[in-house]
Amino acid sequence: MKTHKHLYARICEFDNIHHAYLKARRGKRYKDDVLAFSARLEEHLIDIHNQLTWQTYQPGAYHYFTVTEPKTRMIAALPFTDRVVHHCLCNVIEPIFEASFIRDSYACRPGGGVLAGVLRTTRFLRDAWRRWGTVYCLKGDVSKYFYSVDHETLKRIIRRKIACPDTLGLIDRIIDSPGGPVGMPIGNLTSQLFANVYLDALDHHIKGTLRVRYYVRYMDDFVIFHHDKAYLRGLLDEISGYLHRTLHLTLNGKTQIFPVKQRPVDFLGYRIWPTHRLMRKANVKRTRRKFRKFSRLYHAGRMTMDEIRPSIMSWLGHAKHGDTWRIRQKVLGSCVFSRDFRKGGIDH
């Protein structure tokens, strides 16, 4: 396996640091910490350059907060300077790992994403259905994935590709920054890349060693289609054993095998049948609640349509890839955006 050396100078290049800053601020340029960084841009970029060049960079303190949608998760946020450094690193090392990833891993990748994963899953399911008539699905989910990644195993996997000591030193500092021997913070750009690097071994084991044809993974969730339920049971045992032995991970209790007929494949926010796709019911209920809240805030003059419109368009962009015409009509039809302008100002 080819290893890559002499990477650190590219990470430290001023053009790379400036490009990293532009990527880190994307969609966040009016946040307080980004505005403060941008106000003294040259000074901050030179400071990052010096810290990286002289290898004095140390990760900053994490700010933790909890999100509850679509499920409860603890998010870790770093200062903006650290986010720029993570982009500096990923700009250089991500293409190295990306070149060896399988096609059917879709999380946090160029050309990937939820929609690409849904379309590929639908194509595989329809192909299996035409081929066999009866299709079973193995739907797997790694238990507490981000919290379970073993640091030493991750470092060992990374060293199969990267042999630049200075780059490895920076990577190790970032991996170890939360403290403890296991776990990656949800929210780091590097965590997204390292999460794919860690499970890439499983992807190649399933596709290369086990010769599985209909396999799609999105971060810690995956689906496999086959006509033989007993075959999938054996495959489940093999995958579970491999995860435990090699990556120190376990599958959670939601992992199951079921026939795809009346029951759909619930994956990436959609319920997928061979003939059509529908949105997950929880997604529709959550969206309906959110839009009704927007309607109340708009009526009270506490939100503008410029603030509301991006959320509506984003949801419509997601919904249109399923058979959702009626659902879209119901959700949007239940929300009326009206304002009593005698109580508020002019909308923007």
Give the integer Cα–Cα distance in Å for 166 and 169.
5
Strand partners, 105: 217
pLDDT at 334 > cutoff 80:
no
- Which of these, 10, 146, 156, 29, lies nearest to 83 by C-alpha position? 29
Region 263-291 average pLDDT: 87
Residue with tokens 């599958």: 251
pLDDT per position as a tens digit, 210-269: 999 999 999 999 999 999 999 999 999 999 999 999 999 999 988 999 999 879 999 998
pLDDT at 336 > cutoff 90:
no
Q: What is the per-residue pLDDT for 348?
A: 47
pLDDT at 11 > cutoff 90:
yes
Give the integer Cα–Cα distance in Å for 86 and 54.
17
Give the DSSP H/E element, type plus range, for residue 131. helix 114-132
User: With contact defined as beta carbons under 8 Å apart, do 298 and 308 qualify?
Assistant: yes
Q: What is the per-residue pLDDT for 227?
A: 97
pLDDT at 331 > cutoff 90:
no
pLDDT at 2 > cutoff 80:
yes
User: With contact defined as beta carbons under 8 Å apart, do 283 and 186 qualify?
Assistant: no
Q: What is the per-residue pLDDT for 164?
A: 97
pLDDT per position as a tens digit, 71-84: 778 888 899 999 99
pLDDT at 162 > cutoff 80:
yes
Q: What is the per-residue pLDDT for 294?
A: 84
Q: What is the per-residue pLDDT for 324?
A: 73
Region 194-216 average pLDDT: 97
pLDDT at 136 > cutoff 90:
yes
Region 179-183 average pLDDT: 93
Q: What is the per-residue pLDDT for 71?
A: 73
Comparing 57 with 327, the larger pLDDT belongs to 57
The fraction of the chain above a pLDDT of 90, given in percent, is 68
Give the integer Cα–Cα distance in Å for 332 and 293.
13
Q: What is the per-residue pLDDT for 340?
A: 63
Q: What is the per-residue pLDDT for 74?
A: 84
pLDDT at 323 > cutoff 80:
no
Region 193-216 average pLDDT: 97
Dihedral, CA atoms, 248, 102, 184, 161, nearest 10 degrees? 90
pLDDT at 96 > cutoff 90:
yes
pLDDT band at 341 (very low <50, low <70, confident <90, very high): low
Residue 326 C-beta-side C-alpha neighbours within 13 Å? 2
Of 67-81, 190-204, 332-346, the least confident: 332-346
pLDDT at 58 > cutoff 50:
yes
The fraction of the chain above a pLDDT of 70, given in percent, is 96
Comparing 248 with 336, the larger pLDDT belongs to 248
User: Distance between terminal CA atoms of the chain?
Assistant: 57
Give the DSSP H/E element, type plus range, for residue 75. strand 73-77
User: With contact defined as beta carbons under 8 Å apart, do 226 and 135 qualify?
Assistant: yes
Comparing 343 with 31, the larger pLDDT belongs to 31
Q: What is the per-residue pLDDT for 70?
A: 67
